[in-house]
Structure 1
Amino acid sequence: MTLSRLTIHDLRNIEACDFSLSSGFNFLIGANGSGKTSVLEAIYYLGHGRSFRSQLTGRVIRHQQDSLTVHGRVSQSGALLPVGLRKHRDGTTDVKIGEEKGQKLFQLAEILPMQLITPEGFELLTGGPKCRRPFIDWGVFHVEQTFYACWSRVKRLTKQRNALLKTAKSYRELSYWDAELVPLCTQIDMWRRATLKNCLSVLRHFAGRFCLNTKLHCLIPVGGKKTLIMPSY
C-alpha cells in the first residue's frame, strides 16, 4: 500500500496544499519553520488519526479555523482508494474511506500502516514498558485481524474493573471481571510473544551488520525466558 497523493487544509501553518508522492523515497526540503514536519504530521494523521507532536487538537488546527482536513489516495491492489479525516477543535473526528462516511479510526490504520522513526525512538531501549508495549502491539495489530477487538475489550473491562475497585468490599465482586480478562490477556500475550519471535531473524541480521565478526545471542521474553541481547567475540 502506497500513499500517492496528499491534500492538507488548515494544519498548523499550512493553509492548503496538494501534491503527489513517489512510490519510492520522498524528500522534503525547505527552510526551518516552512512546514516540513507538519506534512509528516498530516501523513501520520491518515494512519493514526492523531498527531505525534501534540495531544491537544487545538494546537494543530490553524489559527482561527474550526477544523483541519487531511485527504489522501492510497494505491491498493492496483486501485486508488481515497481516504480522509477532519479533526474539529472539540476533539471529534470525521473519517471517510472511499465514498463511505462515518468510518472508524482503526480502519484508517488498517489501510495505511506506518511507523514513525524519531530520535525519541531510543526510549524503546532506555524507557519502560509504557514505550515498548504499544510498539509491539502496533505490529500485532497489522498481523492479527482479531487483535483490535480483543485489545479494545481488555481496555474496556479494565476500566470497569478499576472503577469497581473503589467500592468493592470483597473479591467476589471482582471475580467476574478477572474471569473475563484472563483469557483475553493470555491471548494478547501469545500474540506479542509470537511477534517478537518473528522479529528475531531480522534483528539478528541488522545487529550483525553493526557488530561485524561477532555472534549475537539474541534472547527475548519468549516462552517465559528473558535474556540480554549481546555480542560474543
Structure 2
Amino acid sequence: MNLVEITIQNIRVIRWLRLAPSKGLNVLIGPNGSGKTSVLEGVHLLGIGRSFRGRVCRAIITQGEENCAVSGLVDKGLGKELRMGIEKGKYGSRVRVGNREVTRASELAQNLPLLVLSPDDQSLLTKGSRERQRFLDWILFHVEPSYFNLLYRYFRALRQRNFALRQMNNRNLLLAWDEELGKLGELVDKFRRKSVETLFPILCQYLSSIMEVEVAMKYTSGWNVEQPLTDILRQRVKADEKLGYTFQGPHRGDLCFTVQGIPAYQRLSRGETKQLILALVLAQARCLYEQTGVIPVLLLDELTAELDKPSLYRVSQALMALQAQVFVTMVSEQMLNDMVWCKGKMFHVEHGTVRKLS
C-alpha cells in the first residue's frame, strides 16, 4: 500500500502542488513555516478527511480562498490502483473514492491507512483516556470489519443512557439502556483486550530496540470485569443519576504506561516520551501488517526534534525494517547523517513550493 501521486490545493501556504513520492522514504526539508507540515496535512486529509493539527476546517484553507482540495492515486498492490479525493470548504465536504461520491470519510481511511507522529502527540500520554482508546480503536477499525459499527452503537447507547439519567422520570427506559449498553460494552472490551494481547509483544520488541528505559503497559476495562457490566450499571443507577452521566464502562477504559510504577509522562524526558510514542506508532503499523498484510503510510513531522544521535540511529533502523512508505519533515538534510535510511526521495520545501532534490 503506497501513495503513487498526490495533488494539494489551498492548504495553508500551499496554493498548488503535485508530488510523485517514493514507495519508501520521502524527506521534506525546509525552514520553519515553509510548508513541510502542510504537505503532511494534505496526505492526512486525503486518508482521514481532516488535518492532524486540528478539526477546524477553516484553519487549514489558504487565506483568501473558500475551499481546499486533495486528490491522490493509491497503489493497493496486485496491480490495483485507486483514485481518491476530498474537497472541504464552508459549505461542507465532498469525498470521492474511485468513481463513487461517498458520504463517510471513513472510506478514505479504509483505502489509505495512515499513522502520524507529530510534536503534539505527547498528548497521547498526558491527556484523558479517550486518546489512548483511539489508539486501540485505530487497529480494530482496520482489522475487525464489524468494530466500527459496534463502537458507534455503544456510544449512541451511552448518550441515550446519559440522557435518561438526567431525566430521572422513566426507570423502565433506563433499565432498557442498561441492558443495551452492558451488552455492547462487553463486546467492545472483548475486542480491545484481544487487540492488546496482539499488540503487547510487538510493542515490547520496539521498546527494547528503541528505548533504554523499561516501560510497563497495562490495559484497564473501565469497570470491574469480575461482574457483568449490565449488573454494575444497574447497581450504580442512583450514583450515576447524581453525576448525570455513566461513570463506568469501556468509555472509561485506558492504556496505562508506567516507569518504575510512576506514570510515564511524569518520569520520562521529552526525548524519551517521543521514543515511546514512536514505538507505539510502529507497533500499530506492525499489528496491521501481521493481521492484514497492509503496511500503513507513516507521516513523521519533525522526527529529529528532541532525539539525540544514538536515539535517531535506533529509530531509523526500526523504521527501515518496517519497509513502509514514510514522509518525514526536517529542517536540514545534515540530520540524515545520524540515521540509517534506504534510498528514497528528497524534496526542498520553501514558500509553499516543492522542488525535488534527489
- The TM-score, its normalising length taken from structure 2, stands at 0.58
* Structure 2 residue runs without a partner (length 5+): 227-254, 261-358
1:148-172: CA deviations, max 9, x gaps?
1111112222223333333231432
Q: 1:15-26 maps to which residues of 2 (within 5 A)?
A: 15-26=15-26
Deviation at 1:11, TM superposition (A): 1.3
| Structure 1 counterpart of 2:89, one-letter code | H
1:177-204: CA deviations, max 9, x gaps?
2222222111111111111111111122
Aligned to 2:122, what secondary structure does the other structure show?
Answer: helix
Q: 1:117 and 1:23 mapped to 2: Cα distance?
A: 19
Deviation at 1:211, TM superposition (A): 6.1
Deviation at 1:144, TM superposition (A): 0.6
Does 2:28 correspond to 1:28? yes
Partner of 2:142: 142
Q: Percent identity?
A: 32
| Structure 1 counterpart of 2:90, one-letter code | R
Partner of 1:110: 110
Partner of 2:68: 68
* 31 and 146 in structure 1: CA distance in 2 versus 1, 3 angstrom threshold: same
* 227 and 23 in structure 1: CA distance in 2 versus 1, 3 angstrom threshold: closer
Partner of 2:191: 191
Task: Give structure 1 regions of 4+ aligned residues with deviation exceeding 4 angstroms.
Answer: 216-219, 222-231
Deviation at 1:75, TM superposition (A): 0.3
| Structure 1 counterpart of 2:80, one-letter code | A
Deviation at 1:26, TM superposition (A): 0.5
Q: 1:32 and 1:229 mapped to 2: Cα distance?
A: 34
Partner of 2:219: 221
1:117-139: CA deviations, max 9, x gaps?
12333333343312211111111
Q: 2:220 and 2:194 mapped to 1: Cα distance?
A: 8
CA contact (8 A) 2:82 2:98 kept: yes
CA contact (8 A) 1:86 1:93 kept: yes
Q: 2:56 and 2:18 mapped to 1: Cα distance?
A: 25
Partner of 1:42: 42
* Structure 1 residue runs without a partner (length 5+): none
Judge which range, 93-102 or 57-66, deviates more: 57-66
CA contact (8 A) 1:94 1:101 kept: yes
Partner of 2:54: 54
Does 2:89 correspond to 1:85? no
Partner of 1:97: 97
Count of residue pairs brought into register by the alignment: 228
CA contact (8 A) 1:61 1:89 kept: no
- The answer to which structure, 1 or 2, has the higher relative contact order (CA under 8 A, 6+ apart) is 2
CA contact (8 A) 2:66 2:89 kept: yes
* 63 and 164 in structure 1: CA distance in 2 versus 1, 3 angstrom threshold: same
Q: 1:33 and 1:122 mapped to 2: Cα distance?
A: 21
| Structure 2 counterpart of 1:87, one-letter code | K
CA RMSD of aligned residues (A): 2.5
- The TM-score, its normalising length taken from structure 1, stands at 0.87
Deviation at 1:8, TM superposition (A): 0.8
